């Protein structure tokens, strides 16, 4: 039996269908903005992936940073100082991400893109779910777990190869043939964001008539500065996430419901 065949899933689908049929005033306002925009860009954070079973970082009781000090396990200095401890954390993180699939929010963005209503997705996530969903124009400003890299010689290894080396290593550290520890190709604390990716994100945000922020706390700079670029250029900011953000005052539309339901309702309302 597939997930969609279960009574719980059927109930959720019915609820989503009802919401799509009778969109909220906020969804109608957002749909009107999207229909009237020459360029719409989405900015996504961890909250878009929580319906896929991936915990976010800051939610009380479930956030990843409630369990560990990120400065001890997710800082570039921690990687260099103690790669064994670093990989003890990241091996668990990889296991958490294994087998996760895109959810309805990811697919809603792909549908908007396919209909010519969305130009690009800028994501802070490293989980590859936008890739799996089929997003064409994707800017991964924090990197991706798709690959690991050797900081000594520059060799890259796929996620599958890194996991094979991890499983075979006596010290539980996947290594390059040169002997150095591999590092996930993600941005750690203490590292700069990829210059080309950030430049592209800023270009997209500045050129957007609507910047649709989904599932992001909008607390981490420089990405948190993107809504300001949109507003300074005369565009509108829309925020779809649970919990307050520091840029709520900039939002032309602010939705705080379930991201899957809200985006599915948006897709339906845009074409209504």
Mean pLDDT of the chain: 87
**What residues have CB less than 8 Å from 97, skipping those under 6 apart?**
54, 127, 128, 145
Can 142 be counted among the known catalytic residues?
yes
**70: Cβ contacts below 8 Å, ≥ 6 apart:** 57, 189
Question: Which residues are 214's β-sheet partners?
Answer: 44, 240
Q: Which residues of the chain have pLDDT under 50?
A: 1-20, 60-63, 65
What is the C-alpha radius of gyration for the chain, rounded to an integer number of angstroms?
Answer: 19
Give the pLDDT confidence score for residue 54 in this predicted structure.
85
The pLDDT of residue 13: 47
Any idea which architecture 55-99+150-186 has in CATH?
A: 2-Layer Sandwich (3.30)
Cβ atoms 229, 200 nearer than 8 A: no
Helix, strand or coil for residue 104?
helix
Instruction: Give residue-wise pLDDT tens across range 129-184.
Output: 999 999 999 999 999 988 999 999 999 999 889 889 988 999 899 999 999 999 99
* Catalytic residue from among 142, 147, 228, 249: 142
pLDDT at 90: 81
Domain ranges of the chain: 26-53+101-142+193-272, 55-99+150-186
pLDDT of residue 92: 76
CATH code at 26-53+101-142+193-272:
3.40.50.1220
Name the DSSP letter for residue 41.
Answer: E
CA dihedral 222, 226, 228, 234 (to 10 degrees): 160
Given a contact cutoff of 8 angstroms between Cβ atoms, the answer to whether 203 and 178 are in contact is no
Residue 266's H or E segment, with its range, is helix 259-270
The pLDDT of residue 159: 85
Gap between the Cα atoms of 137 and 140, Å rounded: 10
Establish whether domains 26-53+101-142+193-272 and 55-99+150-186 are of one fold: no
Residue 24, classified by CB atoms within 10 Å of its CB into exposed (0-12), middle (13-18) or buried (19+), is middle
Q: Which helix (H) or strand (E) holds 90?
A: helix 83-97
> Quick one: pLDDT at residue 156?
93
Write the pLDDT tens digit of every residue in 95-105: 777 778 999 99
pLDDT reported for residue 22: 78
Backbone phi, then psi, for 212, in 5-degree steps? -100, 105
Residues 122, 41 contacting (CB under 8 angstroms): yes
According to DSSP, the residues that pair with 122 across neighbouring strands are 43, 139
pLDDT, residue 98, reads 72
Contact 18, 259 (CB under 8 A): no
């Amino acid at each position: 039996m597939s997930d969609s065949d279960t009574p719980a899933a059927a109930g959720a689908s019915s609820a989503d269908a009802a919401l799509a049929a009778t969109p909220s005033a906020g969804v109608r306002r957002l749909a009107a903005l999207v229909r009237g925009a020459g360029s719409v860009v989405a900015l996504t954070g961890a909250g878009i992936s929580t319906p896929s079973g991936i915990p976010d970082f800051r939610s009380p009781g479930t956030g990843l940073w409630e369990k560990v000090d990120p400065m001890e396990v997710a800082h570039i200095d921690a990687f260099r100082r103690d790669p064994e401890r670093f990989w003890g954390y990241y091996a668990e993180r990889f296991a958490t991400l294994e087998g996760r699939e895109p959810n309805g929010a990811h697919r809603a963005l792909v549908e908007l893109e396919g209909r010519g209503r969305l130009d690009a997705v800028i994501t802070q996530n490293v989980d590859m779910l936008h890739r799996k969903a089929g997003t064409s124009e994707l800017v991964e400003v924090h990197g991706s777990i798709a690959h690991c890299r050797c900081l000594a010689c520059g060799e890259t290894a796929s996620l599958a190869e890194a996991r094979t080396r991890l499983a075979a290593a006596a010290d539980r550290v996947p290594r390059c043939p040169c002997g150095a520890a591999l590092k996930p190709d993600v941005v750690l604390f203490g590292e700069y964001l990829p210059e080309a990716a950030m430049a592209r994100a800023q270009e997209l945000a500045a050129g957007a008539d609507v910047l649709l922020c989904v599932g992001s706390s909008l607390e981490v700079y420089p990405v948190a500065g993107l809504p300001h670029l949109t507003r300074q250029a005369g565009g509108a900011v829309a925020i779809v996430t649970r919990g307050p953000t520091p840029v709520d005052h900039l939002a032309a539309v602010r939705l705080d419901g379930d991201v899957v339901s809200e985006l599915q309702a948006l897709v339906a309302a845009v074409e209504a």
